A and B are shown apart, each in its own frame.
Chain A
Amino acid sequence: MLIKRKSSDAARGKLQAALGGLSSGVMDRRSFLRRSGLVAGGAALAGTIQIGAVRKAEAAGMGPATGTKVVTNICTHCSVGCTVKAEVANGVWVGQEPAWDSPINRGTHCAKGASVRELVHGDRRIKYPMKLVDGAWTRISWEQAISEIGDKMMEIRQKSGADSAYLLGSAKFSNEGAYLFRKFAAFWGTNNVDHQARICHSTTVAGVANTWGYGAQTNSYNDIRNSKTILVMGSNAAEAHPVSMQHVLSGKEINRANVIVFDPRMTRTAAHATEYVRIRSGTDIAVIWGMMWHIFKNGWEDKDFIKSRVYGMEAVLREVEKYDPKTVEDITGVPEAQLKRAAETFAKVKPATFIWCMGVTQHTVGTANVRAICNLLLATGNVGSAGNGANIFRGHCNVQGATDMGLDVGNLPLYYGLVEGAWRHWARVWDVSYDALQARFDEVPAKGGRPARTRKANMETSGHTSTRWFDAATMPSEQVDQRDNLKAMIVFGHGGNTIPRIPDAVKGIEKLELLVVADPHPTNFVSLAQRKNGTYLLPIATQFECSGSRTCSNRSIQWGEKVVDPIFESANDYWVIYKLAEKLGFASDMFKNIRMVRGKFGMEPEPESVLREINRGGWSTGYTGQSPERIKLHMANQDKFDVVTLRGAKGSPVENDFYGLPWPCWGTPEMKHPGTHILYDTSLEPMNGGGAFRPRFGVEREETLPGGAKRTVTLLAEGSFPKGSEIRDGYPEFTFGMLKRLGWDKDLTPAEAATIAWIGGNAPDAVSWANDLSGGIQRVALAHGCIPFGNGKARAEAWNIPDPVPTHREPIYTPRPDLVAKWPARPDERTLRIPNLHTTFQKAAIEKGVAKAFPIILTSGRLVEYEGGGEETRSNKWLAELQQDMFVEINPADASARNIKDGQFVWVSGPENNSKARVKALVTERVGKGVAFMPFHFGGWLQGVDQRANYPKGTDPIVLGESVNTVTTYGYDPVTGMHEGKVTLVQIAAA
C-alpha cells in the first residue's frame, strides 16, 4: 500500500505539519482562514505571516516554485484592476499567486486573470517585425521597419496631409503609453487619434460629463458593498467583470440588497439577481422614462436634492409624461407592475446604485440612454454618497486612463478639449511653442459646400472616429471633412473586428496605402483583407513586459512593475513611439523634459518621468497629486486599505489616502490630497475627498418656458455645499480673479503668484484652477474648504447636445416599423467630419421590408473567457480550450420553426451587403423569442471562409470564428460616433 506520505514525508510535506511547526497558532489559523476564503476585512488580517512564505524559504531550490521573486502588476484584461502577483525565476514567469492584499480583488481572478501568465509564453505572439512583400510575410529588422514606415508616413503627409494618417491607440496602453501616443498625434499634427473608448463608453463619457462634470464612474466596485438596491442595465458583469461580482454579491448578502437586472438576455448576472426584467433591445430610454413616470406620479422623487442640486428637471418631466405604462409596455415589453416595482425599489430602498455597460452605450441613442439614466439617479437623489451613484463598469484594463490621457478625437490629455486655451496650456507643459504645434496641422480646402479651414481651425476641429475610419478611406473625398481621405492606419493594440460593417471595413483596409499593426498579436486588421504590400507588423510587448501606471474604472491608479523583459523581439510602446517620433523628426521636442533610460533596444522614455509630466499638466482632472512615488507606496501597502471605504488605515504610511489616489487628486503630490473615492460627495471636505457637481456650462441660463415667457435661472448649487466650505452656497470655478474678489489671493505664495502672472500675461484674472501650473489656485480654494472647479447643479437638460432631453427613438433596423412614425430616428446630420444618415437608413430599411425578411433581433456581448476582438485571448491555450466555437444563441421556438438543432451550423444573414456568418447554434431560453445573441470576440472567418492562411505563420490564434460584426449594421450616435452594436435584424437558417 502506498502510505509512505504518512510516515516519511509528513514532517516536511503536509499542511498539518506546516501549521504545527509554527509557534503562534492564532496567526496560522488566520492565514489559513484567509486562504480558505473567509469573508473578513483586509485590515483584520493585516500583518499576519503567511505560512506559504515561511515554507518557501525552507524549501528553497527544491521545487518548481522556489527561488523566485514576486513581482506585482495589474491584470491586462477588464477595468476592475485586479492585482497580479507573478513569481519569476531566472527571468521566467513561472507561477501566479493570489494577491491577497489588493483591496480590489483580494486574491481572486476570473478565467482571464488566472491565465495571464500564458501571455508571455507567447506561443502565438508576433516574434519579430514583418512586412508584406507581394503578399508574403517577410522578416525585417526594427530599424528597417521604423525607417520604411516613417518614410511612407512623410510621403502621405506631403501628398494628402497629416490628417490622412489615422493614429489608432489602445486602452491597453499604460497611462504613460497613452499619453505619449496622444502627444505624438499632437506633434504629428492631427486630431485623428482614438482608441477603444470610442466603442466602449464614449457615450457614457459624453452623457455623464454633460450631466455633472466628469465622464467617469462616480463610485467604485468596492462601494457597491454599501448599496441596498443594485440596478444593472446592459451589463453582464458576471462575464465581463467577474471580480466585481465579489463586491456585488457581498453587498447583496450583507445588506440583503435588491439586485435588479434589465437585459434582453437572461445573463449569468441575471441568474444571481433578485429580479430579472426582460426588455426589448434598444428601448432603454422608454424603460427609464417609464420608471420615472411612476416615480413622479407617486411623489417618490427626492425633492430637496432636485431643488438644490439639479437644473432642468421640469423639462425632463414634460418628456416623461408621454411615457405612460401602456405606451412603455408596448415599446419595451416590460409589464407595468414589474416596472413600477423596480421604480419604487430604486427610489425608496436607498442607497441605490445604477450599473451599466455596453448594453446602454452601444446604440445610436447611446448618449441619450446615458443621460436618461443620469436623470433617474438625479431624480431619486442617488448620486454623491456611499452606496449610490453611477457605477459605470468600463471595459479594458486602462480604458479609463487612456480616455483620461486624451486618446480621443476631441480632446487633449485630461479633457482640456481642443480650444486655443487647451493647446496653449499643453504647449506650456511641453515647453514648446504654440505656433510650432499649429504649423504641423493641415489647411483644409473648401469642399462639399463647406468652407475652408485654416490650420488653427483644423487644430481645433475634432477628428474622425475610429468607428468610421473605413468610411473616411472609401467615401468620395468631398464628403470627408479634411484635406484628403485616409491613406494610412497606424494601429497600436486595437482589434479590427470590433466595429460593425466588416464587409465595408475590408474595402477600407484594401484601399489603405499604409497599414501598420503594432500589437502582441496580428489582429483582424491583418487577417481580414488580402493586401499585397504596404503592411507592417510590429511585435509589441504586453504591459507585463514593461512598467507603468494604469487607471481602473473607479479612477484608482495602480502601478504595474515589469514582470519579465519583452519576449522575442518585442519592444514596449514607449520605445516604439520614441523611435517613430525620432524618425519623423520631432523626438527632441516631444521628449524634451522626459528622462530617457536604457531599455531593451537602447534609450527609451522612463515611465515615471512621463507620469511626472502628466502630473505637471493634469490640473483639470486632478491627475496632479498622483506622483509615481505615492502610487508605488500604495502598491507596497495594499493591505492597509479598507475593502469598503478604500481608506488607508490610521498609523500606516498611507493613512487617510484612498486606494490608488482615485482622481481628482488635487494639487501637488506634496499637498497629500487623498484622492476622491466618491465623486460629488458633499459630506466630506474637498481636501478630504469631498466635492460637488461641476458647473461647466456657465453660471446662469435664460430659459424659454412652454408658454413663451423667459426667465433666468442659476446653474449654481442652491443651499448645498461640501462640508467645511467657507462659501456656503454654489459658486463658479476658481480663477485668479475670483481669488482676488474673495480676498484670498493673498494666500498665494510669491512663486505661485509669479507663475500665475507668467501664464496670464495681460489677463492674469482669467488664469484658472485648470491651467495654473503652480497649483496655487487649487491649494488656496481647498484651504478654504472649496472645490476648485466650483459648486454647480447637475444638468437634467443638456441644451448643448443633440436631444437635450432624451427621447425614445426606434433603432434604425427596428423590428417595430409601426412605432417609427411616433418615435423616429434622428434626422440626417453630420457627426465629426462625416455624414450620419440615421433617417435615410431607417426609411430604406422600412421600405425594403427588412423587418419581415430579417425577423430576429440580433444583440451582442461578451464571454468571460475572451476579451475585445479576442485575438489575444483566443491565442491563450488555457482560455481557448473553454470556448472553441463561435455561436449564436437562439430561442427554442425560433430554432424549431427553422428546423435548427442545438450545435449545428447555421447561417446568420444581415440586412446590409448581403452579409452572412456561419456559426454554431446554441438553442437556449437565455434569449427571448425573436432575439438572438452572438459574442463579439471572434474573428478569422469571413462569411464562411476560414482565413487562417492570412496570418503570418505561427501567429494565428488557436480559435478562429466568424465576427458578429460581419452582420451588424449602420448606425452611429450623434454625439460621439458610437456604433450600434446591440440592435440589428438578422435571419437565421440551417447551414
Chain B
Amino acid sequence: MARMKFLCDADRCIECNACVTACKNENEVPWGINRRRVVTINDGKPGERSISMACMHCTDAPCAAVCPVDCFYTTVDKVVLHSKDLCIGCGYCFYACPFGAPQYPKVGNFGSRGKMDKCTFCAGGPEADLSPAEFQKYGSNRLAEGKLPLCAEMCSTKALLAGDGDIIAKIYKERVVKRGYGSGAWGWKTAYKETIAI
C-alpha cells in the first residue's frame, strides 16, 4: 500500500513560494491561513537553506492523539485528515503538532478559534469525494482525481516531492547519487552531524 509523503529537497528549494500560492489557488484558502509555508534557516548567511513545510501526515499523528473529540482519521493512502463537523476548535492539536500545521480562522484570547484547518494532501475530507460540501470545507480532492497535491506538482525547481513514500525516496536517492555529495534533506546535518561540503 502506498504511504503518501512530502519530501522537500533543500538543495533545490529556492523559497519561491509557488507551493504556498498554488495551495491557496487550488484550495481557495483564505487570507491568514497558510496550509503550507516556506521556512528559511540561516537567512542571508552562508549555508542558507529553505524548506517548504506543511502537515507531515505523521504515521502516529500527535494531533490525533490529543484530539478530545477524535476528529482525525487516516485514509488508506495514509493521509491524516480531520472532520470540521466534529472539530470544536480547542487548539490542542496546534500545541501537539511539532510542525505548526493546524491553524484556525479566528483569533482572540477567549473567543472561538473556529474550525481547525490544515493541509489535506489535496485529499479533501470525510464528505463524498469531489462534492461541493467537501470543497467548501476542505478544498480540492486531487487524490480522488488521480492527481497529487498541487504544491508539489507546481514546485518551480521540483524540490518539493509528494507521493508514494517509496517512489519519492527513490527519486530523491537518484538525485543525491547524481549530485555526488551528501544529502540536501532537511535535518540531515542535525541528525548526523555530517559536514557537507557543497
- Residues on A close to B: CB < 8 A? 1-6, 9-10, 12-16, 18-19, 32-33, 35-39, 50-52, 54-56, 59, 62-66, 95-96, 98, 106-115, 117-118, 238-239, 242-243, 245-246, 249, 253-254, 256, 266, 268-269, 271-272, 274, 276, 864-865, 877-879, 881-882, 889, 924-927
A32 contact from B77, B167, B178, Cβ within 8 A = B167
Smallest CB gap from A28: residue in B: B146
Additional pairs, 9, CB under 8 Å, beyond known A5-B76, A98-B150, A239-B16: A10-B76, A13-B129, A62-B128, A111-B21, A254-B178, A266-B44, A266-B46, A266-B48, A269-B14
- Residues of B near A118 (CB, < 8 A) are 25
Q: Interface stretch among B92-100, B105-113, B130-138?
A: B130-138
Can you report 10 residue pairs joining A to B where beta carbons are below 8 Å apart?
A: A4-B126, A5-B76, A98-B153, A107-B153, A115-B21, A238-B15, A242-B14, A253-B179, A878-B25, A882-B20
Smallest CB gap from B144: residue in A: A13
**B157 pairs with A242, CB closer than 8 A:** yes
| Residues 154-198 of B at the A interface (beta carbon under 8 Å) | 154-158, 160-164, 167-168, 171, 174-175, 178-180, 198
**B76 pairs with A16, CB closer than 8 A:** yes
Counting chain A CB atoms within 10 Å of each CB, which of B44, B148, B158, B175 scores highest? B44
Least Cβ distance of B32 to chain A in Å? 8
Compute how far the CA of A40 lies from the CA of B37 in the bound complex, rounded to whole angstroms: 27
- Residues of B near A926 (CB, < 8 A) are 43-45
**A249 pairs with B157, CB closer than 8 A:** yes
**B76 pairs with A52, CB closer than 8 A:** no
**B26 pairs with A95, CB closer than 8 A:** yes
Kindly state whether residue B143 has any CB partner on chain A within 8 Å. Answer: yes
- Residues of A near B16 (CB, < 8 A) are 110-111, 238-239, 242, 245, 864
- Residues of A near B146 (CB, < 8 A) are 15, 18-19, 50-52, 54-55
- Residues of A near B163 (CB, < 8 A) are 32, 35-36
- Residues of B near A12 (CB, < 8 A) are 129, 144
Q: A39-B171, A51-B146, A256-B180 are in contact. Are A276 and B15 (CB under 8 A)?
A: no
Compute how far the CA of A268 lies from the CA of B168 in the bound complex, rounded to whole angstroms: 25
**B1 pairs with A109, CB closer than 8 A:** no
- Residues of B near A253 (CB, < 8 A) are 175, 178-179
Compute how far the CA of A308 lies from the CA of B126 in the bound complex, rounded to whole angstroms: 71
Compute how far the CA of A108 lies from the CA of B161 in the bound complex, rounded to whole angstroms: 12
Compute how far the CA of A271 lies from the CA of B42 in the bound complex, rounded to whole angstroms: 10
**B71 pairs with A2, CB closer than 8 A:** yes
Q: A5-B75, A16-B2 are in contact. Are A55 and B145 (CB under 8 A)?
A: yes
Q: A6-B75, A13-B144 are in contact. Are A39 and B158 (CB under 8 A)?
A: yes
Smallest CB gap from B160: residue in A: A37
Smallest CB gap from A114: residue in B: B22
- Residues of A near B179 (CB, < 8 A) are 253, 256
A13 contact from B11, B32, B141, B168, Cβ within 8 A = B141
**A39 pairs with B145, CB closer than 8 A:** no
Compute how far the CA of A55 lies from the CA of B43 in the bound complex, rounded to whole angstroms: 42
Q: A5-B126, A32-B167, A108-B157 are in contact. Are A276 and B46 (CB under 8 A)?
A: yes
Q: A63-B130, A115-B25 are in contact. Are A13 and B143 (CB under 8 A)?
A: yes
Compute how far the CA of A109 lies from the CA of B153 in the bound complex, rounded to whole angstroms: 9
Least Cβ distance of A28 to chain B in Å? 9
A864 contact from B17, B128, B158, Cβ within 8 A = B17
Kindly state whether residue B83 has any CB partner on chain A within 8 Å. Answer: yes
Q: A37-B155, A242-B157 are in contact. Are A2 and B147 (CB under 8 A)?
A: no
- Residues of B near A238 (CB, < 8 A) are 14-16
- Residues of B near A59 (CB, < 8 A) are 129-130, 144-145
**A268 pairs with B15, CB closer than 8 A:** yes
**A63 pairs with B135, CB closer than 8 A:** yes
Q: A238-B15, A242-B18 are in contact. Are A114 and B25 (CB under 8 A)?
A: yes
Q: A36-B164, A253-B175, A877-B31 are in contact. Are A115 and B150 (CB under 8 A)?
A: no
**A925 pairs with B44, CB closer than 8 A:** yes
In the complex, per-residue mask of B60-73: 1 if CB is within 8 Å of any chain A CB, else 0: 00000000001111
Least Cβ distance of B70 to chain A in Å? 7
Kindly state whether residue B140 has any CB partner on chain A within 8 Å. Answer: yes
| Residues 1-35 of B at the A interface (beta carbon under 8 Å) | 1-2, 4, 11-12, 14-22, 24-26, 31-32, 34
Least Cβ distance of B5 to chain A in Å? 10
Smallest CB gap from B24: residue in A: A878
Smallest CB gap from A927: residue in B: B44
Smallest CB gap from B127: residue in A: A9
- Residues of B near A924 (CB, < 8 A) are 43-44
Least Cβ distance of A862 to chain B in Å? 12
- Residues of A near B17 (CB, < 8 A) are 110-111, 864-865, 882
**B48 pairs with A3, CB closer than 8 A:** no
Least Cβ distance of B79 to chain A in Å? 9
Compute how far the CA of A32 lies from the CA of B17 in the bound complex, rounded to whole angstroms: 24
Smallest CB gap from B179: residue in A: A253
Smallest CB gap from A60: residue in B: B130
Least Cβ distance of A676 to chain B in Å? 27
**B156 pairs with A245, CB closer than 8 A:** yes
Compute how far the CA of A238 lies from the CA of B45 in the bound complex, rounded to whole angstroms: 16
A108 contact from B45, B76, B156, Cβ within 8 A = B156
**A64 pairs with B132, CB closer than 8 A:** yes
Q: A52-B147, A96-B25, A924-B44 are in contact. Are A245 and B76 (CB under 8 A)?
A: no
Please provide the 6 A-B residue pairs with the shortest distance between their CB atoms, ordered closest to farther. Answer: A63-B130, A926-B44, A51-B146, A111-B17, A242-B16, A36-B163
**B18 pairs with A111, CB closer than 8 A:** yes
Compute how far the CA of A9 lies from the CA of B127 in the bound complex, rounded to whole angstroms: 10
**A881 pairs with B31, CB closer than 8 A:** yes
**A5 pairs with B44, CB closer than 8 A:** no
- Residues of A near B174 (CB, < 8 A) are 39
A63 contact from B141, B155, B175, B180, Cβ within 8 A = B141
A245 contact from B43, B141, B157, Cβ within 8 A = B157
Least Cβ distance of B49 to chain A in Å? 7
Least Cβ distance of B163 to chain A in Å? 4
Kindly state whether residue B152 has any CB partner on chain A within 8 Å. Answer: yes
- Residues of A near B140 (CB, < 8 A) are 63-65, 95
Least Cβ distance of B10 to chain A in Å? 10
**B43 pairs with A110, CB closer than 8 A:** no
- Residues of A near B157 (CB, < 8 A) are 108, 242-243, 245-246, 249
Compute how far the CA of A587 lies from the CA of B141 in the bound complex, rounded to whole angstroms: 51
- Residues of A near B198 (CB, < 8 A) are 274
Compute how far the CA of A16 lies from the CA of B86 in the bound complex, rounded to whole angstroms: 27
